[in-house]
Amino acid sequence: AGADAVTGSLRDEEAGTTTEFPELMRPLREPRESRRVRVISGSVPEALHGGVFMRNGPDQRHTPLFPEGRHWFDGDGMIHWCHLSAGDGAQSYGCSYVETQGFKEEREKGGEALYCGIKQSPILDLVLHGMWSKVRNFPTPDRPWWVIQTKNTANNGLLVTGKGTLLATYEAGSPYEIRFERSGGGGADSSTLRLVTEGVYTPTQREAPAHPILGAYNHYLHNFTAHAKVCPRTNEVIFLSYDLIGQRFSVGVLNSDDSLVSMETFEFPFAEGEACMMHDFAITEGKVVLMAHPLLFDKEQSMGGGVPFTYDMSAPSFFGILDRRRGGSGGLGTEAEVSWIEADNCYCFHSMACWEEDETVHLYAHRLDVTGALGMATFRRDGNEERPRVEEKARLHKWTLQTAGGGGAR
């Protein structure tokens, strides 16, 4: 493969295709052993000495099964890191893949791609392989029942739990536990790092759940999504799990020791009960703030060979307020309810900051007027297909959410 350093394009000679990648997502296609680098300007702040700066993102290692449907987000998760030492002395940089179940299966086949990308419609052979993979990896497949012919790439994000467990996350699957090993000796400043994938992360169950199937984290039923939150006061981890086909979502809480203390299930707020991509959310000291925007899963469109989502330009957005205090020290509590606040049509992939004052929640998030979900969505308005000219440019937006008297958003 050849790559253009300016445009970010990738020419795959084997497949005879050229794909345009965002420059930061242009694949390396191989790991890089940890090596010494030097600070060429400034110095590393003392508070960061001995720390590790990390980045997770997709890196397409293999020629895809369907090059014409290649999407830059299909790549295996690659962790880039820089081990920070004192002052302007030697640092170390390296990168390595998260060795997921799909990654190992393809490595066993000599580097042959066994899974398709996120834009490919269902194909029987791939569905059968995906089902076999779930059986083979019993009882901890890395993606739920409704994700079959695409693999968990663990390429979305990074999270350190309250207990200190380092996780590589994925939107439609369970996270992977990873860690670093030191090598080279001579103390922290002179050693280099190597990434180790421990395996699929499984929260420990502290108490029997009220609902044995829906109440516990089950690898065949649940995903962890990309952007779980760690509460800076309690060290609790709060995460989302949604079922696009079953049209329900769950909010889970891990205690500071990584034990699952609460997992409650809710329905989506849209008129027909459609499931949406609930990619991110926010927390305050006492609230979970959900963002449900009308990027809706379209099962018929997906099964018919189209992309998996439709953005409904005539539907409202919703912000959901969930009380973290209701369950006391035991998480959300089985009587937890979401208060939905209707808002303007828009989409937010990511939140930035959130806090509460009395009965008001303030939320900063990156707002798009509409979104094609990185090429994964069509558009509709009042039930009819639309072909808008979309500029995927987010802007920082502040919402003020009134949580009393019926609620309101502005």
Distance, C-alpha 256 to centroid of its chain: 21
Question: Can you give the pLDDT at residue 5?
Answer: 38
- Paired strand residues for 96: 79
CB atoms within 10 A of CB 307: 20
Question: How far is residue 268's CA from residue 249's CA, in Å, rounded to a whole number?
Answer: 7
Query: Counting beta carbons within 10 angstroms of the beta carbon of residue 40, is it exposed (0 to 12), middle (13 to 18) or buried (19 or more)?
Result: exposed
Question: Can you give the pLDDT at residue 266?
Answer: 94
Residues 6 or more apart from 336 whose CB is under 8 A from it? 251, 264, 322, 323, 326, 327
Give the chain's length: 410
Question: Can you give the pLDDT at residue 48?
Answer: 86
pLDDT tens digits in sequence order for the chain, 410 residues long: 333 333 445 444 444 555 566 666 778 889 998 888 888 888 888 888 888 999 999 998 888 888 777 777 889 999 999 988 765 656 789 999 999 999 999 999 988 888 888 777 778 888 889 899 999 999 899 999 988 888 999 999 999 999 999 999 999 999 999 999 887 654 444 467 899 999 999 988 765 454 554 447 889 999 999 999 999 999 999 999 999 999 999 999 999 999 998 888 999 999 889 999 999 999 999 999 999 999 999 998 888 878 889 999 999 999 999 998 776 555 786 678 899 999 999 999 999 999 999 889 999 999 999 999 988 899 999 999 999 888 888 999 999 999 876 667 77
Contact 53, 39 (CB under 8 A): no
Question: Can you give the pLDDT at residue 167?
Answer: 98
- Paired strand residues for 290: 281, 320
Question: How far is residue 52's CA from residue 178's CA, in Å, rounded to a whole number?
Answer: 14
Total-model pTM = 0.89
Question: Can you give the pLDDT at residue 193?
Answer: 86
